[in-house]
Chain A
Amino acid sequence: MKRDSLIFMTVVPWVVPVLLAASLMLFLKGHNAPGGGFIAGLLTAVALVLRLLAYGSESVRGKESLYINLIIGGLAIAATTAIVPTLLGYPFFTHTFGHVHVALLGDIELASAALFDLGVYLVVVGNVVTVIVALTLSDEPPSDRDAQANGAEGTGAQDGH
């Protein structure tokens, strides 16, 4: 599914890092301002998908297991943050938090809930990218198939190309 669009290929290298940085911000600030794991994860995924659209399926071939590992890892992190408190004698899913000050980003809160959010983030990124990569990697349809389908339907409009 390689699309040779000059504009696309020129813009994407600039846009993707910006999107990734924005998603990082959304993730870190998510506990106190709009954002959080779900949103940041989706934004990261969108950035990765943009990259995929620009550079074609070759850029992700062989990386499927990486994205699946993101899902598994994310689930593991989320589940761990839920279970660890029970090992320490607290109720299931007890979260704690504290504050640290980091240059540029300002007051950053370190909450164990953020770890859980990290799990959410990884799961969301992994999910979106896994599905889209899997579909992209399924081979290009042979050109004669489209012709055949169109021929059979007669009036069928050829769209999307």
Chain B
Amino acid sequence: MGGLLVAVLLPMAAAAGLRFAVGARSRAAGVAASTVTLICFGLVLAAAAEHLHAPSSVSYPWIPQLGLNLTLVADGLSLLFALLITGVGSIVFTFATAYLGPDENCRRFFSYLLLFMSAMLGVVLSGNLIVLFVFWELTSVSSFLLIGFWHQREASRNGALKALVVTSTGGLAMLVGFVMIGIVCGSFELAHVVEHRELLYASPWAGPAAFLVLIGAMTKSAQLPFHLWLPSAMEAPTPVSAFLHAATMVKAGLFLVARMGPLMAGVAIWTPMAAGVGLATMVWGSWLALRQTDLKGLLAFSTVSQLGLIMSLLSQASPAATSAGLLHLLNHGLFKGALFLLVGVIEHEAHTRDITRLGPLPARMPRVHTLLAIAALSMAGVPPLGGFVSKELFLEWQLNLGLFTAVVAVVGSVLTAAYCFALAIGLARGRGAPVGEAAAAHDPGMSLLWGPAVLVTAAVGLGFAPQAMVGSLVESATAAAVLDAPLHLHLALWHGWSTTLAASGVAITGGYILYTFWWQQSSIVPATLITDRLYSGFLVGLEKGARAITDSYMSGYLWRYLVLILSVGVTAMVAAVVGSGFDSPVVWNARTTRAHELLIIVGALAAAVAAARAPTRLAAILALGANGYSLALLFSLLGAPDLALTQVMVETASVALFLAVFVYLPPYRPMRNKRFRPGHMAVAALFGFGVAGLVYVVRGMRVAPTIAGHFIAKSVPEAGGHNIVNVILVDFRGLDTLGEITVLSVAALAAYSIVRGLRERRADGDIS
């Protein structure tokens, strides 16, 4: 089990370490990253050998106070996905090392890619819902970084943002669902939750939780109506598309459906919603794929469609359907990974991926085209390739389910076969002659070909010997995804004559006819997605709305903000006190007032009014000073000599400061400023006397004695000081004082820099 932890953490550490180990454009980054991936693959293989038939889990405390553990689960499901991730990852990483141009920032690319792989492994291995969510979001973030890798291009940035917005919104929905589950079942540990699933079924939260979790899965796996982000994500470098947007990340949603299966299968909306969305996505996605001229766009919609197919199977909570879904998922990882890499090769060599510009491929790129055709035919479900086996199982399931699903499944399969033939046969015939650089394209060296070749070989092998290759893996994974599944899986190419076989035949024949009809159309116009328009409209609306709201209160006038803040603040304070119902009589035990104190208080009041009404600046400054000095007197009479001294000094320094500044300021404009503003005065009086009144009431409600006794008693014996105020400042509350002198210093340095900046500007002649 320790090996799996290493497999999760090692790529993350390597992603950080690359920064220090290699140069930005060094190809060594790719070599190092590929090595790390291979090590992870080895670790996962070792774990699979041990745990495939003996599932186990291990928990590392992370934030135990919150019940958060880094729980890693090694069962069939997690191992199947981990093998797919690290296996395809090994090939994609080495492919990308040869694929990236010499001017690309390889280090950054592979750092992101490693980070992604780490996150993806975390998602599939996690046995804790919150940890799963954290890794889930990490895949969204790393996918954002990878789609936007060519950040100079606007399309890349938009695509990255779109993917992030859609998938992280879904992720948040999923989190809410997880929290519901966690609260109802009393833990975020998956094993605990599944064990106590009856609690969820009995609670009213079951439906909403299932819905929200499914939203998360649908956004990640680009299901209708969230499929808009995947085509835009094709702006990523092709190895990224192959790895994230075909083989792994988009499968996270499927993984989630399979992982939550044991829990959610008992919730009524789960299966109908997921299966319905899956089938609809399959049909609509393949229809859109057929209408693409960009090879990557075609593959993107084909991925959307295939993910829908798998989704419709995995959500059934039936051993037969789930095993079919998992097998097709493996198939898809292989043939779609290969297809993406091959399209990447075509673009690399021909500098275009537009079907109408490529011309017939076999003459110039025979090897590439052969591999491409095999992979595409596997996707179409043509025997004897791997895709045929799982497609058969899919059709068998849907035919048994009912007439409606059977028709939908066959229609989807026909459309799928049609675009697959467009890839396999269409590219051989070409749509017109090659244009520009495409004419001079040729097969690349083995460094770019062996990766797709391995994947295609595996895809072919899955057709001939599915049971031997993945039988036990799929069986064990199905056992993990379906409760109490007595399953004796027998995967084989030949199932004998059956209606399913006939349906396959219909699909392939119909697909071929549709393809030939379609291929002869003079022009194909790629559709713009309605959801895409909705998305852009939403973004624009969001920006406009936010601006409108902000503009409505951010007037830029200080007094308007203050009036708002103070009014709300005073209202809240008064409401709080009135609401608390001060039943106790107001008792202060304050000493009585002496006559001369009253005099000083009146003096301070007069000075304050004078400062407000002063006709000139000098008068205002002096009035403020007089107010300060009166306060100093008052402090000394109230038993605060330290305060009195401080106030006197500060007042003196302040007056000097004002004098230093005000020679530069323009004179008051008494006529305008003396205008009395009753509104302002009302707010000010409400605030001033409101606060004073609150203190009057609240001080009388005192329930606990002051802590002053503590300071008075400890001052001499513990701090050796008789001046308690000073002892508090430098000793008892020394840290506060340290903070305060730091603030003071920052203020002074800021003031100094402002003045200095002004002087330099003036010296440069910026200010007259």
Question: A residues engaging B (CB < 8 A)?
Answer: 1, 26, 30-39, 42-43, 45-46, 49, 53, 64, 68, 71-72, 74-75, 78-79, 82, 92-93, 95, 97, 99, 109, 111, 113-114, 116-117, 119-120, 123-124, 126-128, 130-132, 134-139, 141, 149-150, 153, 155-161
Contacts of B486 in A (CB 8 A): none
A31 contacts B721, CB within 8 Å? Answer: yes
Query: What string of 1s and 0s marks CB contacts (under 8 Å) between B234-278 and chain A?
Result: 000000000000000000000000000000000000000000000
Asked whether A150 and B667 contact (CB < 8 A) given A111-B721, A124-B744, the answer is yes
Contacts of B597 in A (CB 8 A): none
Query: Is B729 an interface residue when CB atoms closer than 8 A count as contact?
Result: yes
Other than the given A42-B650, A74-B745, 16 more pairs (CB < 8 A) read A31-B730, A32-B723, A37-B730, A45-B649, A68-B752, A75-B741, A82-B735, A113-B734, A120-B730, A123-B745, A124-B741, A130-B751, A131-B752, A134-B756, A153-B666, A157-B615
A126 contacts B748, CB within 8 Å? Answer: yes
Contacts of B725 in A (CB 8 A): 34, 36
Query: Is B638 an interface residue when CB atoms closer than 8 A count as contact?
Result: no
A-B contact pairs, 12 of them (CB 8 A): A37-B729, A38-B729, A46-B649, A78-B738, A82-B734, A95-B731, A111-B720, A114-B730, A130-B748, A149-B666, A153-B669, A159-B619
Asked whether A32 and B721 contact (CB < 8 A) given A68-B752, A82-B735, A92-B735, the answer is yes
Q: Looking at the complex, which one of B615, B660, B669, B738 makes contact with A135 (CB distance below 8 Å)? A: B660
Contacts of A116 in B (CB 8 A): 730-731, 734, 737-738
Q: Looking at the complex, which one of A113, A124, A153 makes contact with B727 (CB distance below 8 Å)? A: A113
A134 contacts B745, CB within 8 Å? Answer: no
Query: What string of 1s and 0s marks CB contacts (under 8 Å) between B714-732 and chain A?
Result: 0000011111011101110
Contacts of A134 in B (CB 8 A): 751-752, 755-756
Q: Looking at the complex, which one of B723, B734, B741 makes contact with A30 (CB distance below 8 Å)? A: B723
Contacts of B547 in A (CB 8 A): none
Asked whether A75 and B646 contact (CB < 8 A) given A1-B663, A111-B719, A157-B615, the answer is no
Contacts of B653 in A (CB 8 A): 42, 45-46, 49, 128, 132
Contacts of A123 in B (CB 8 A): 741, 744-745
Q: Tell me the minimal C-beta distance from B748 to chain A in angstroms.
A: 4
Contacts of B722 in A (CB 8 A): 31-33
- Complex Cα distance, B25 from A23, in Å, reads 64
A36 contacts B660, CB within 8 Å? Answer: no
Contacts of B494 in A (CB 8 A): none
Contacts of A97 in B (CB 8 A): 719-721
Most buried by A among B735, B752, B762: B752
A36 contacts B729, CB within 8 Å? Answer: yes
Most buried by A among B646, B723, B731, B741: B741
A42 contacts B723, CB within 8 Å? Answer: no
Query: Is B162 an interface residue when CB atoms closer than 8 A count as contact?
Result: no
Q: Tell me the minimal C-beta distance from B356 to chain A in angstroms.
A: 70
Query: What string of 1s and 0s marks CB contacts (under 8 Å) between B601-626 and chain A?
Result: 00000000000000111110000000
A36 contacts B618, CB within 8 Å? Answer: no
* Number of A-B residue pairs at CB separation under 8 A: 187
Contacts of B742 in A (CB 8 A): 75
Q: Tell me the minimal C-beta distance from B595 to chain A in angstroms.
A: 25
Q: Tell me the minimal C-beta distance from A90 to chain B in angstroms.
A: 13
A130 contacts B668, CB within 8 Å? Answer: no
Contacts of A99 in B (CB 8 A): 720
Q: Looking at the complex, which one of B652, B719, B721 makes contact with A46 (CB distance below 8 Å)? A: B652
B667 contacts A157, CB within 8 Å? Answer: yes
- Complex Cα distance, B743 from A127, in Å, reads 11
Look across to chain A and name the residue whose beta carbon is closest to the beta carbon of B740.
A120
Q: Tell me the minimal C-beta distance from A156 to chain B in angstroms.
A: 4
Q: Tell me the minimal C-beta distance from B697 to chain A in angstroms.
A: 32
Question: B residues engaging A (CB < 8 A)?
Answer: 615-619, 641-642, 645-646, 649-650, 652-653, 656-657, 659-664, 666-671, 719-723, 725-727, 729-731, 734-735, 737-738, 741-742, 744-745, 747-749, 751-752, 755-756, 758-759, 762
B642 contacts A34, CB within 8 Å? Answer: yes
A160 contacts B618, CB within 8 Å? Answer: yes
Look across to chain B and name the residue whose beta carbon is closest to the beta carbon of A81.
B734
Question: A-B pairs with the 10 shortest C-beta distances?
Answer: A42-B649, A97-B720, A156-B667, A127-B748, A34-B641, A31-B721, A32-B722, A36-B726, A159-B616, A134-B755
Q: Looking at the complex, which one of A71, A120, A159 makes contact with B749 (CB distance below 8 Å)? A: A71
Contacts of A82 in B (CB 8 A): 734-735, 738
Asked whether A43 and B649 contact (CB < 8 A) given A36-B726, A95-B734, the answer is yes
Most buried by A among B642, B660, B730, B758: B730
Q: Looking at the complex, which one of B727, B744, B752 makes contact with A31 (CB distance below 8 Å)? A: B727
Look across to chain A and name the residue whose beta carbon is closest to the beta carbon of B661.
A135
Contacts of B641 in A (CB 8 A): 34
Contacts of B649 in A (CB 8 A): 39, 42-43, 45-46
Contacts of B668 in A (CB 8 A): 156-157, 159
Q: Tell me the minimal C-beta distance from B119 to chain A in angstroms.
A: 39
Asked whether A138 and B758 contact (CB < 8 A) given A35-B645, A35-B723, A95-B719, the answer is yes
Contacts of A111 in B (CB 8 A): 719-721
Look across to chain A and name the residue whose beta carbon is closest to the beta carbon of B671.
A155
A153 contacts B667, CB within 8 Å? Answer: yes
Contacts of A113 in B (CB 8 A): 719-721, 727, 730-731, 734
Q: Tell me the minimal C-beta distance from B557 to chain A in angstroms.
A: 22
Q: Looking at the complex, which one of B666, B727, B747, B762 makes contact with A139 (CB distance below 8 Å)? A: B762
Q: Looking at the complex, which one of B619, B666, B741, B751 makes contact with A156 (CB distance below 8 Å)? A: B666
B642 contacts A36, CB within 8 Å? Answer: yes
B723 contacts A36, CB within 8 Å? Answer: yes
- Complex Cα distance, B657 from A128, in Å, reads 9
- Complex Cα distance, B648 from A35, in Å, reads 12
- Complex Cα distance, B729 from A111, in Å, reads 14
Contacts of B727 in A (CB 8 A): 31, 113
Q: Tell me the minimal C-beta distance from A49 to chain B in angstroms.
A: 5
B669 contacts A131, CB within 8 Å? Answer: no
Contacts of B738 in A (CB 8 A): 78-79, 82, 116
Q: Tell me the minimal C-beta distance from B183 to chain A in angstroms.
A: 40
Contacts of A64 in B (CB 8 A): 752
A138 contacts B759, CB within 8 Å? Answer: yes
A159 contacts B657, CB within 8 Å? Answer: no
B726 contacts A117, CB within 8 Å? Answer: yes
- Complex Cα distance, B758 from A102, in Å, reads 49
- Complex Cα distance, B668 from A134, in Å, reads 24
A26 contacts B645, CB within 8 Å? Answer: yes
Contacts of A32 in B (CB 8 A): 721-723
Look across to chain B and name the residue whose beta carbon is closest to the beta carbon of A57.
B660
A160 contacts B734, CB within 8 Å? Answer: no
B748 contacts A131, CB within 8 Å? Answer: yes
Contacts of A139 in B (CB 8 A): 759, 762
Contacts of B616 in A (CB 8 A): 157, 159-160
Contacts of B758 in A (CB 8 A): 138
B666 contacts A78, CB within 8 Å? Answer: no
Look across to chain A and name the residue whose beta carbon is closest to the beta carbon of B726.
A36
- Complex Cα distance, B662 from A131, in Å, reads 14
Contacts of B652 in A (CB 8 A): 46
